[in-house]
Structure 1
Amino acid sequence: MANIFQPSSMIIPIFNGENYDFWSIKMKTFFCSQDLWDIVDEGFTIPEDLSTLNASQKKELKENKQKDSKALFFLQQAVEDSIFPRIMGATSAKNAWGTLKEEFQGSDKVRAIKLQTLRREFELIKMKESETVKDYYTKIKELVSQMRSYGDNILDKRIVEKILISIPRKYDAIVTTIEQTKDLSTMSVTELIGSLEAYEQRLSRHDDNTFENAFQSKLKLRSHDDRRYGGKKN
């Protein structure tokens, strides 16, 4: 049997006391990859009378102890020194995980208030004229990620609708086309952003051509004036 404490090639996310929800999601994925999440989430029971266990049960108990020790070790490595004292007395991974969750995730009331604030920010956000589609979508993604971390199962349909009604009027032509030719209830956010970015590039090329034409017209006018006045102007 391989050494259960064999170093992992994966990088453990480090918690510094901020953005607990993001860190906890990363840690859950990490524990799942190591087949340790069940032991962290549910723990395990040690019978009072070990003499009643058969060989198979003793083997299972030993493996659970090893898994728990490994998970606790990972948790200890996953927090900065300033956070470590909170879990240094924990005797199981479940206990350490629960301690961090209780302190940094906040109560249901606090989480509900934070989620309400994020929802309001999501409703009010609009794309600025000077922003690119990519930059605006980055803001939307960050908001959605935070909302989901606080329990809001926001669907793509809602995100698509939000983007369509919050982008500048210069995108009206592509918005109308999308609304007339696409089923918004099944359209993915990725597909929408791809269409908007393609249209944005067309607008950019049009602006460049307009500028170039204006510049060429100015040069022609200057050349005409030079010929008219023999290269001299009073």
Structure 2
Amino acid sequence: MKVLFKSQDLWNLVENGYTEVANAEAFDALRREEKDILVESKKKDQKALFAIFQSVEEVIFENISRAETVKGAWDILQQSDKGDDRAKRMRLQTLQGDFESLYMHDSESISVYFDRVQTIVNQPRVNGEELQDVQIVEKILRSLTERFDYVVAAIEEAKMCQP
């Protein structure tokens, strides 16, 4: 979401919100340029709020549906994400187990296996945990089928020859 908002030049509104005029009299007292800026900020805010509403699941939408500004909705999302730390830790443990039990099937092509590895590796990233490239490469080398033993041996030999 952050990338979307930045690409649309909306991130500042998401992070900081915008200043709304207290009443009609205060709005009328503003210069024309200031009024135009406020109206444009309100439009951008509603555009960003709509984007959030469209991109979340129904259960999450129920939590943010009362938000009137994008900053309000974003703050609710951030708060609910922090409250979900226990569930996130459990998800990460499950994903770690999936990674550890990963191995290549005899009938599987190397490209299909790499796609499967990439899918499993990307899931922890979504949840805020990054696996090191070394871990991933070592896991792949350990989990290839016997028909790739010569490749694994060549890679390990080349690695040992490096200064």
Q: Same fold (TM over 0.5)?
A: yes
The equivalent position to 1:150 in structure 2, one of 110, 120, 127, is 127
Letter in 2 for 1:37: W
State the alpha-carbon separation in 1 of the partners of residues 98 and 34 from structure 2: 53
Change (3 A) 1:78 1:115: closer
What is the aligned length?
157
**Structure 2 residue ranges without an equivalent (≥5):** none
State the alpha-carbon separation in 1 of the partners of residues 100 and 12 from structure 2: 37
Give yes or no for the alignment of 1:30 onto 2:7: no
**Structure 1 residue ranges without an equivalent (≥5):** 1-26, 184-234
Question: After the TM superposition, which residues 120-131 of structure 1 pair with which residues of structure 2 at under 5 Å, given as runs?
Answer: 120-131=97-108
The equivalent position to 1:117 in structure 2, one of 94, 98, 111, is 94
Change (3 A) 1:42 1:137: farther
Match of 2:68 in 1: 91
1:109 offset after TM fit, Å?
A: 1.8
| TM-score, normalised by the number of residues in structure 2 | 0.74
Match of 1:167 in 2: 144
Change (3 A) 1:80 1:122: closer
1:85 offset after TM fit, Å?
A: 4.2
Change (3 A) 1:106 1:123: farther
SS, match of residue 127 in structure 1: coil
1:47 offset after TM fit, Å?
A: 7.7
The equivalent position to 1:108 in structure 2, one of 60, 70, 85, is 85
Question: After the TM superposition, which residues 173-212 of structure 1 pair with which residues of structure 2 at under 5 Å, given as runs?
Answer: 173-182=150-159
Deviations 1:83-125 (A, max 9, x none): 6444332111122233345557851122112112211221121
Letter in 2 for 1:87: I
Change (3 A) 1:54 1:161: farther
1:34 offset after TM fit, Å?
A: 0.7
> Cα RMSD over matched residues?
3.3
Letter in 2 for 1:149: V
| TM-score, normalised by the number of residues in structure 1 | 0.54
Which is helix-richer, 1 or 2?
Answer: 2
